[in-house]
Homo-oligomer: A and B are copies of this chain.
Amino acid sequence: MTPTITAFESSPDRGQGLARDMRVRWALEEAGQPYNVRLVSFKAMKEPAHRALHPFGQIPTYEEGDLALFESGAIVFHIAQHRAGLLPDEANARARAITWMFAALNTVEPPIIELQTAKFQEGDKPWNAERMPLIKDRIRARLDDLSVRLGDADWLDGAFSAGDLVMVHALLRLKPSGMLAEYPNLAAYVARGEARPAYKRAFAAQLAVFTGQAQAG
């Protein structure tokens, strides 16, 4: 059964691949799993039909037979559990890779999202310029630790895993800020993720939606 995911009909980042469908596309590409995409408008996302799939009115969702999931981390995890290529087989290594997924989503990503919130939701506020360095320092506190742990390894714990996939994608949001460049090993880590053939295929697929070259599902 070919799964169907949802993605933005109109890319908010103009095809930069920062929307969360990118994680799911990338995971599906790593697993060699073809998929269908149904594009949804900002309006349709908030309507009952979509909310039945996604209670928070967002993308991506994932449908496969009787199963409907939402939340990119959960979808990536589901793909990783059921298909080869994203989690190690050995039990302890597998648990550690899953740990990195949660760490990416709950420890590293939230301060990065705060930067975006400040920019897009409080960009016109008088305090914004003065707050920015505080937010960036909170992000640096995470990047400092992550950079130390990664050291000169290619990936966070042995072979590339779903943990790296989610972490790389969370870090990609920092690119416009220039902050990644402060951590050469993290910048190289992100670049290694972007260089993977599966990443490139996923990136091209989401870019094609923006440029109008996609086959809408």
A-B contact pairs, 24 of them (CB 8 A): A51-B145, A55-B145, A55-B149, A56-B107, A56-B146, A57-B145, A58-B107, A66-B92, A67-B91, A70-B103, A71-B103, A71-B106, A73-B102, A73-B105, A74-B95, A74-B99, A74-B101, A74-B103, A78-B95, A102-B105, A106-B106, A110-B113, A122-B131, A125-B127
In the complex the two chains form, what is the Cα distance from A27 to B110 in whole Å?
Answer: 24
Q: Tell me how many residues of A have a C-beta within 8 Å of chain B.
A: 47
In the complex the two chains form, what is the Cα distance from A148 to B55 in whole Å?
Answer: 8
- In contact, A78 and B106 (Cβ under 8 angstroms): no
Which B residue's beta carbon lies closest to that of A135?
A: B117
- In contact, B71 and A95 (Cβ under 8 angstroms): no
Which B residue's beta carbon lies closest to that of A81?
A: B95
- Would you give the shortest CB distance from A88 to chain B, in whole angstroms? 13
Q: Which residues between 42 and 72 of chain A lie within 8 Å of chain B, taking CB atoms?
A: 51, 55-58, 66-67, 69-72
- In contact, B114 and A102 (Cβ under 8 angstroms): no
Q: Is A109 an interface residue (CB 8 A)?
A: yes
- Would you give the shortest CB distance from A63 to chain B, in whole angstroms? 11
In the complex the two chains form, what is the Cα distance from A173 to B55 in whole Å?
Answer: 21
Copies of this chain, complex-wide, total 2
* A122-B134, A127-B127, A127-B131 as given contacts; A106 in contact with B149, CB under 8 Å: no
Q: Is A98 an interface residue (CB 8 A)?
A: yes
Which B residue's beta carbon lies closest to that of A97?
A: B74
In the complex the two chains form, what is the Cα distance from A186 to B171 in whole Å?
Answer: 33
In the complex the two chains form, what is the Cα distance from A51 to B145 in whole Å?
Answer: 9
In the complex the two chains form, what is the Cα distance from A64 to B126 in whole Å?
Answer: 50
- Find chain B residues with CB under 8 A from A78 CB: 95, 98
Q: Is A177 an interface residue (CB 8 A)?
A: no
Residue among A51, A56, A114 with the highest chain B CB neighbour number at 10 A: A56
In the complex the two chains form, what is the Cα distance from A71 to B121 in whole Å?
Answer: 29
In the complex the two chains form, what is the Cα distance from A217 to B58 in whole Å?
Answer: 44
In the complex the two chains form, what is the Cα distance from A126 to B127 in whole Å?
Answer: 8
